[in-house]
Chains A and B, each alone.
Chain A
Amino acid sequence: GAVVSQHPSWVICKSGTSVKIECRSLDFQATTMFWYRQFPKQSLMLMATSNEGSKATYEQGVEKDKFLINHASLTLSTLTVTSAHPEDSSFYICSSLSGRVYNEQFFGPGTRLTVL
């Protein structure tokens, strides 16, 4: 199957700083990527849809100025958590939509963010 990587796998930062998380599709091109947030023992909540070469589409209740998404190439999408606060601590997961396998998402391993 297709491989999606995320970097870093975990990060600890101070309150008020910004953190960038990268999502890469390693062996296929992805015009669409998704960003999810997962709280402990809870489900994945879709945050936004990232489309290559255009602005991301955010789900209701997600602050676009807080969670900046850039999808500059067909293999890379980045999520930047700006001015992070402890309530932003969570597990962030990305997925890439493969054009080879219709409508199937391939998920990255996730990034654990802890804001002190």
Chain B
Amino acid sequence: GNSVTQMEGPVTLSEEAFLTINCTYTATGYPSLFWYVQYPGEGLQLLLKATKADDKGSNKGFEATYRKETTSFHLEKGSVQVSDSAVYFCALNRGSSNTGKLIFGQGTTLQVKP
């Protein structure tokens, strides 16, 4: 079945460090891939997305490239800030019927220290 696997956290970095959060997926068909961010006490927000192979999603300095050959969608940022501290979820849209249903990874907590 379809699934998403993320690297376990928490990930603790110093400010301005380089960030990578790994995400791999298993899916039939051609899913769309998403990264969501959940700041403390808030709901999930869409960070970026990619809808087909080799697409690169980007937003707020974060990037992720849809790699069909490695079934991956790793999240990267060149220089993190304290305000980036949050829980990050990788997700895929389930099925080709585009029902809007999402399958989430387990989430990765990022802690950025000044």
Q: Residues of A with Cβ closer than 8 Å to B?
A: 1, 4, 6, 32, 34, 41-44, 46, 49, 93, 95, 97, 103-105, 107-110
Q: What are 27 contact pairs spanning A and B, CB under 8 A?
A: A1-B46, A4-B43, A6-B43, A34-B100, A34-B101, A34-B102, A42-B106, A42-B107, A43-B105, A43-B107, A46-B101, A46-B103, A49-B99, A49-B101, A93-B44, A97-B100, A103-B32, A103-B93, A103-B98, A103-B100, A107-B36, A107-B43, A107-B44, A107-B45, A108-B43, A109-B41, A110-B43
Asked if B44 and A43 sit within 8 Å, CB to CB, the answer is no
**How many angstroms from the CA of A46 to the CA of B36 in the assembled complex?**
15
**How many angstroms from the CA of A49 to the CA of B102 in the assembled complex?**
11
Any A CB within 8 A of the CB of B42: yes
Q: How many residues of B contact A (CB 8 A)?
A: 20
Asked if A105 and B45 sit within 8 Å, CB to CB, the answer is no
With known contacts A103-B32, A103-B93, A46–B102 Cβ distance under 8 A = yes
**How many angstroms from the CA of A107 to the CA of B51 in the assembled complex?**
20
Asked if B89 and A43 sit within 8 Å, CB to CB, the answer is yes
**How many angstroms from the CA of A38 to the CA of B111 in the assembled complex?**
21
Q: Residues of B with Cβ closer than 8 Å to A?
A: 32, 36, 41-46, 89, 93, 98-107
Q: Give chain B residues whose Cβ lies under 8 Å from the Cβ of A93.
A: 43-44
Asked if A44 and B89 sit within 8 Å, CB to CB, the answer is yes
With known contacts A42-B106, A43-B89, A44-B89, A109–B42 Cβ distance under 8 A = yes
In the complex formed, the residue of B with least CB distance to A108 is B43
Asked if A104 and B46 sit within 8 Å, CB to CB, the answer is yes
**How many angstroms from the CA of A1 to the CA of B41 in the assembled complex?**
18
**How many angstroms from the CA of A109 to the CA of B104 in the assembled complex?**
17
**How many angstroms from the CA of A43 to the CA of B103 in the assembled complex?**
9
**How many angstroms from the CA of A43 to the CA of B100 in the assembled complex?**
17
Nearest-Cβ distance from residue B101 to partner chain A, whole angstroms: 6
**How many angstroms from the CA of A34 to the CA of B102 in the assembled complex?**
10
